[in-house]
Amino acid sequence: MFNARIRKRWRAGGFKVGVIGAKADLTYDYDHLGAGTETLAELAAGKHSFMDVLKNAEKPIILVGAGAAARHDGAAILAASAKLALDVGAVKDGWNGFGVLHETASRVGALDIGFAATSGGLNAAQMTTFGTLDLLFLLGADEIKASDGTFVVYIGTHGDRGAHRADVILPAAAYTEKSAIYVNTEGRVQMTGRAAFPPGEAREDWAIIRALSEALGKKLAYDSLQALRQAVFKAVPHLIRLDQIEAGSADQIKKLAGKGGSPEKAPFKPLVEDFYLTNPIARASAVMAECSRLASGQMLTAAE
């Protein structure tokens, strides 16, 4: 969807696009600037010819893909990208042209409520290293490859990769089976209503975690969805403002740019290997499977 917006603007004319990373068919023309961090460093140092395009743009945009941020040197890459955004005027009064495109639907909302590793915490790579954890909870996480020896509890819907690895499965309600608040990739808060009740023993995620907390003797302080939402709104007030985007902070971008660091000299690689099979719902779809087959160039031969 985001790429479609870029294409729409490109079709209007007068719009230059530069890409650092793997070459791909984006459905519009772009300048391939380079494959990795060396090109980003050249831009940041003002030594790349595309720097003139960015500096002369009325509203320049620096967009960082999730693949770059997910690397071991992701913090340094984000810092260099933020500094570049400041240098070319992508962050100024009335305009914030610095953004990160996340690869999962829940990532922005999770970051809004602080659901991320803090100082001294473990990242995903560390959690999945053999011998690091005795117990791992997967909250609908189907792309995590837990190491042998780790006891895995899976809370999810579609019986996908995470469920196949799990030692215990706690069935959760699908997104159509619960009333929920979502935050999309641009930070817009949205609310949905339940279309159907979950089947069998499936429960909404919050109810599962609430029940677990009581069983463990650490009872959480809410007994209903309304009580939970009140606690969330108190902690993160902007989540109550539906269909609105919380404005980014220029000071936070400046703080990020000041963190520095030394990115590794390695090319950027996309996180998504197959566009049509990126999540459990898509992987369970016969239509998406057919699209994936056609996109890969595979042809079926009719039996004689």
For 29-66, what is each residue's pLDDT tens digit? Answer: 999 999 999 999 999 888 999 999 999 999 999 999 98
**Lowest pLDDT segment from 90-104, 109-123, 235-249, 280-294:** 109-123
Per residue in 159-214, pLDDT tens? 888 899 899 999 999 999 999 999 988 889 999 999 999 999 999 999 999 999 99
203's tokens: 């429960």
Spell out the domain ranges in the chain.
273-304
Question: Which two three-digit tokens encode residue 67?
Answer: 């693949």
Count of Cβ atoms closer than 10 Å to residue 209 Cβ: 17
Is the CB of residue 223 less than 8 Å from the CB of residue 210? yes
Question: Which pLDDT belongs to residue 298?
Answer: 63
Residue 55 is predicted with a pLDDT of 93
pTM: 0.82
Annotate 96-113 with b (16+ C-beta within 10 A) or e (fewer): bbbbbbbbeeebbbeebe
Nearest-CA neighbor of 183 among 128, 263, 238, 125?
238
Residue 93 corresponds to which amino acid? D
